[in-house]
Structure 1
Amino acid sequence: MNRPIPLLLITGVLLGLIFPMGRVAVESGVPPIVWTFLIAVGSGVGLSLPLIRRLGRRDWPRGFWIYAVISGLVSNVLPNLLVFASAPRLGAGHVGLMFTLSPVCTLALSLAAGMRRPSGIALAGIAIGFIGAVILVLGKGETRPVAAETLWLALALLIPVFLALGNIYRGLAWPTGAGAMELASASNLTSAIMLLAAIAISGEGLAQIVSVANVPMLGAVQLVLSCVYYLALFALQRVGGPVYLSQIGYVGAAVALAAGVIALGERYGALTWTGATIVLVGIGFTIRAQMRR
C-alpha cells in the first residue's frame, strides 16, 4: 500500500492502541523496558523476511545498519521507554497526548533542515491540532493534582522531541535502494539488541523477561499489531514525508483517549474532550490537504 491517507489512519490507530496495552502490561508486573523489548524483537523478527533474503549477498545499501541503529534508538527505544514508564503514572490517554506535540516539533525541524514546506491547508491542520493538543494537556489538571506528577510530565514531554528527531532523520537519511519492510525490521532488531543489553545490566537482569508470561494473550496481540504498525510507519515515511507522518500523533491521541475511557475506566473533564474535538478537526484539515495533493 502506498496511499498516504489510509496509511496515516492505520498507523495512527495502531499507535493509539499501544498506550493502553502498555499500561495494562506494566500494571500486570511487566517492566516498561521489557515490554518495549518485546515489541522491538517481535516486530524485527516478524518483518525480517527481506533481511533473510539479503543474507550472503553484498548489495546492502550504503549506511543501512547505521541508519537502523540511529533510527531504532531515537524513534523506538527512547520514546517507548518514556511512554511505558509514564503511562501508569499519567494515564494512557495523557501519555498519548504527548504524541500530538510531535507534528509541531517535526514541522519546526523540517523547516530548519530546508525540507519541503507543507501547503496552507496542511499548516492549518497542524496549527489546529496543536491548539487542541495544548487544551488537552491543560485539561490534565481537571482530574489529577499536577504537582505530584511534574517530573513524569516533564519526562513525557521529551517523547515528541525524540519522535520529531526520528521523523526527520528517517526522511533525510533513507538508504538508497532500501525497502520499508527491511528498514522496519532492521531498526527494530537493533533496538531489541540495545534494550536487551540494558535489561542485562539492570538490577534483576534477564530474569525480568519472564514477566511477559503474566500477560500472554496481550503480548501476542501486541506483537501482531506492532508488525503491522512498523510496516505502515516506514511505508508512510516514504510516501508522505516526515511532517505528514508526524500527524499520526493526532490520530493516536484520539484513539488512546477513547481506549483509556472505554477499556481502562479513565475519566477526563470537559476541557480534555474539547481539546480532543479540536484535534479531530485538525486531522480533517490534514486529510483534506493530502486529498488535494
Structure 2
Amino acid sequence: MNDSSKPPPFRSKNTWLIPFICLLVGGALIGISTNLAKYAGEVGVTPLAFLFWSITGAAVILWVIAFIRQELPPLSTRSFEYYFVAALISVAGSNLLLFSAIPHVGAGFVALIISLPPLLTYLGALTLRMERFSIIRALGVAAALMGAGVLAIRKFSAPDASIFWIVIALCGPVLLAIGNIYRTLRWPDKASPNALAPGMLMAAALLLLMFSALPNFSVTVPIKEWLPLGVITIQAGVFAGQFLLLFVLQKTGGPVLLSLLGSVGAVVGVPVAIFLQGESPPAGLFLGASLIALGVALVTWGGVKMSSENN
C-alpha cells in the first residue's frame, strides 16, 4: 500500500487530544441522531424523507463552511468515486437501514448496536496492515464488542422481539465498518476533511433521491405543521457536525478509533431514549454499557501509547 492511499498524517505533540475530543463530541451527536430519528417517525416523517432532507441540509451547511474556508470538494474522477461509494456504504445505506429499524426495535437498541463496528474494523485494518497490533487496543475492541453482544443477545431473547428488524438493524454496523476501511484506503490525495465531507453528503442525498423513485417510497414531508420541519432542521445541524468530525477523526485517529464513535453514541443515546423518549432500559444495560466504556478507554489509551512511541 502506498502512502497516497492513506489520509495525510497529523503531527502534533498532543496527537491524541484532537481525535479524543472528536470521538466524544461526534459520538454524542450519533446518540442524539438516533433519538431524533425515532421522534421524526412519531411526528409523521418517514425514515427515507427524514434522512434525505436532513442530509441535504447538512450538505448545504458543509458546502458553505468549505466555501468560507476555501476548501471546496475536489472534482477528480478519484474524488467522485470516493464520494459515491463512501456515501452508499457509510451514509445512505447504513443510516437508511438503522433509521428504518428504529420504530420496530427502539432508538436505544440502535444506539447500542452502532458500537459493533470496532471488531470488523480492527480485523480489517490488521489484515490490510493499516494498523499495528496492540494488545491494549485489541482488548479494548473486544470489551466494546462484548458489551454490545450482551445487549444484542438479550434483545433477541425478548418475547416480543422482531427478528427481521433486529437483523436489518445489525446490517447497519457491518456497512459502517466497511465504510471505515474504505474511506481510509481511498482518501483522495491531499484532500482535507472540510472538503470531503460535503462531497460525500451531496452524493448520499442524490442516491437517496434516486431510491425515492421506487414504488411506495417518497421524500415528501408534511409541511402544514412546523414540528416535522423543525426536527429535520435540527437533524441537519447534527449531521453536519457529525460527519465533519467523522472526517477529522478519520484523518487524525485512524479507522479503529473512528469505529468507536458508535460506542460513545451508545453511552449517550441509550439514556436519552430511556429518560426523554420513555423507552424501557435494554436488558443487561449496566454490564453492556460498562464494557463499552471500558473498550473506549482502552483503545484511546492504546492510541496515546502508540502515538508517544512514534514521536
**TM-score normalised by structure 2 residue count:** 0.86
Q: Within the alignment, does 1:87 sit opposite 2:99 as a pair?
A: no
Residue 40 (structure 1) aligned to one of 45, 51, 55: 55
Query: What letter matches 1:209 in structure 2?
Result: V
Encode CA deviations 1:229-261: one digit per residue, 9 max, x unaligned.
Answer: 111000100111111100111111111111111
Give the distance between the partners of 2:212 and 2:246, measured in 1 at CA. 26
Give the distance between the partners of 1:118 and 1:15, measured in 2 at CA. 28
Query: Counterpart of 2:37?
Result: 22
Q: What SS does the corresponding residue of 1:73 show, helix, strand or coil? A: helix
Q: Within the alignment, does 1:209 sit opposite 2:221 as a pair?
A: yes
**8 Å Cα contact 2:126-2:132 kept in structure 1:** yes
Structure 1, unpaired ranges of 5+: none
Q: What SS does the corresponding residue of 1:175 show, helix, strand or coil? A: coil
Q: Give, in angstroms, the shift of residue 17 of structure 1.
A: 0.8
Deviates more, 1:101-110 or 1:83-92: 101-110
Query: Counterpart of 1:180?
Result: 193
Query: Counterpart of 2:134?
Result: 119
Q: Give, in angstroms, the shift of residue 196 of structure 1.
A: 1.2
Q: What SS does the corresponding residue of 1:75 show, helix, strand or coil? A: helix
Q: Give, in angstroms, the shift of residue 120 of structure 1.
A: 1.8
Q: Give, in angstroms, the shift of residue 204 of structure 1.
A: 5.9
Residue 239 (structure 1) aligned to one of 249, 252, 275: 252
Give the distance between the partners of 1:138 and 1:82, measured in 2 at CA. 20
Query: Counterpart of 1:198?
Result: 211
**8 Å Cα contact 1:44-1:189 kept in structure 2:** yes
Encode CA deviations 1:235-292: one digit per residue, 9 max, x unaligned.
Answer: 1001111111001111111111111111111112552222111211111212222332
Give the distance between the partners of 1:144 and 1:11, measured in 2 at CA. 34
105 and 216 in structure 1: CA distance in 2 versus 1, 3 angstrom threshold? same
Query: Counterpart of 1:279?
Result: 292
Q: Give, in angstroms, the shift of residue 112 of structure 1.
A: 2.4
Aligned residues: 288
257 and 6 in structure 1: CA distance in 2 versus 1, 3 angstrom threshold? same
Q: Within the alignment, does 1:139 sit opposite 2:154 as a pair?
A: yes
> Matched residues, percent identical?
31
Give the distance between the partners of 1:35 and 1:270, measured in 2 at CA. 29
Q: Give, in angstroms, the shift of residue 38 of structure 1.
A: 1.8
Encode CA deviations 1:24-62: one digit per residue, 9 max, x unaligned.
Answer: 10122111111111222111111113369578x9x7455
Name the structure where helix makes up a greater proportion of residues: 1
Query: Counterpart of 1:31?
Result: 46
Q: Within the alignment, does 1:150 sit opposite 2:196 as a pair?
A: no
Query: Counterpart of 1:97?
Result: 112
Give the distance between the partners of 2:131 and 2:138, measured in 1 at CA. 12
Give the distance between the partners of 1:74 and 1:278, measured in 2 at CA. 27
What root-mean-square deviation, in Å, do the aligned CA atoms of Structure 1 and Structure 2 show?
A: 2.3
Query: Counterpart of 2:5?
Result: none
Query: Counterpart of 2:236?
Result: 223
